[in-house]
Amino acid sequence: MKTRELYNRTVGRFHREGIVEAATEAELLLRYFLDLDRVGLFLDQQQLTDAELEKFEKLVRRRLAREPLSYIVGEQEFWSLSFEVAADVLIPRPETELLIENVLELIEAPHDFTGRILDLGTGSGIIAVVLALELPLAEVVAVDRSEQALAVAARNLKRYGVTDRVALVKGDWFSPLRPALKFDFIVSNPPYVSDRLRSSLQPELKFEPESALYAGVDGMAAYRRIIPSSRPYLKSNGYLLLEIGYDQETKIQDLFTDIAGLQLVGIRKDYNDLPRVASAKVIDAMPDGR
């Protein structure tokens, strides 16, 4: 069987099984398997051997079992960069780019910014890496409780040459940090899916780590820990930015009503006009003047 014929057959199989972007996924899977770029794939008309077809069939069956393509190929694009992903980390979503955009919009001169940023629940390290690249003089601390996730993050840091400016720390939210450590920004894309939605979600999600997705019966468990604890770790005029679920705007607003010294200043909508990033700012100094 030749390359083009195999591509067409794979598109048909993916389509019949309800994979939404069947053509794109078939192309990416075949490019990964043959190590070709897009032009090379469609110009290539080599005859695949039976052994090659058998190997490729194993990959196709994994995708038909609804294992995410990103886990099969071990890569996911984010911020126009390619990052390593594995079953130990959440697959980056395009919406999370809004979180990074918000941070950059709040910094007048990104290339001159010498502040400190905390990334809570870093996972594959994508937020920490991108911020380190966009803010070349900044210091980033990235925390995650999963040793396996931190191993993936470490490889992504090394890939983009930011290991000297991003510190990976193992622990649960703020617990491994010294109380005296202060940040200009705290950012997080925490788990925020309600446990009650498990049965109604797309089958691919069963392959992603539950601890990175689900956050109690209403999806708010992580926010109830992060928001009340964040103020002591923020500098004067510092910001807390959180990715949120599309249906959590009111609950997020309610959480901030009881947080002294930290005021919710906006909730940004995503490209589908849904609430996606909550931003809060320090509005008073700590007792010691910070």
Using 50, 70 and 90 to split pLDDT, how confident is the model at 197? confident
Q: Are residues 145 and 226 in the same domain?
A: yes
- For the chain, how many structural domains are there in total? 2
Closest CA to 68 of 78, 56, 59, 58: 59
Q: Are residues 271 and 214 in the same domain?
A: yes
Please enumerate in sequence order all residues whose Cβ is within 8 A of that of 214, keeping only pairs 6 or more positions apart, or say none: 191, 193, 194, 195, 198
* Residue 263 placed within a domain: yes
* Residue 81 placed within a domain: no
pLDDT of residue 287: 52
**Structural domain of 31:** 3-65
* Residue 82 placed within a domain: no
The answer, yes or no, to whether residue 235 has pLDDT greater than 60, is: yes
* Residue 128 placed within a domain: yes
Tell me the C-alpha distance between 250 and 223, whole Å: 13
Q: Are residues 168 and 36 in the same domain?
A: no
* Residue 232 placed within a domain: yes
Q: Are strands 262-269 and 275-282 parallel, antiparallel or unpaired?
A: antiparallel
Q: Are residues 58 and 120 in the same domain?
A: no
Q: Are residues 21 and 52 in the same domain?
A: yes
Summary mean pLDDT of the chain: 91
pLDDT of residue 122: 96
The answer, yes or no, to whether residue 50 has pLDDT greater than 60, is: yes
Q: Are residues 52 and 92 in the same domain?
A: no
The answer, yes or no, to whether residue 33 has pLDDT greater than 60, is: yes
Tell me the C-alpha distance between 89 and 289, whole Å: 39
The answer, yes or no, to whether residue 290 has pLDDT greater than 60, is: no
Angstrom distances, CA of residue 177 to CA of 127, 147, 169, 182? 19, 17, 9, 10
261-281 average pLDDT score: 93
pLDDT of residue 184: 96
- pLDDT tens digits, residue range 137-192? 999 999 999 999 999 999 999 999 999 999 999 999 999 998 889 999 999 999 99
* Residue 114 placed within a domain: yes
pLDDT of residue 279: 96
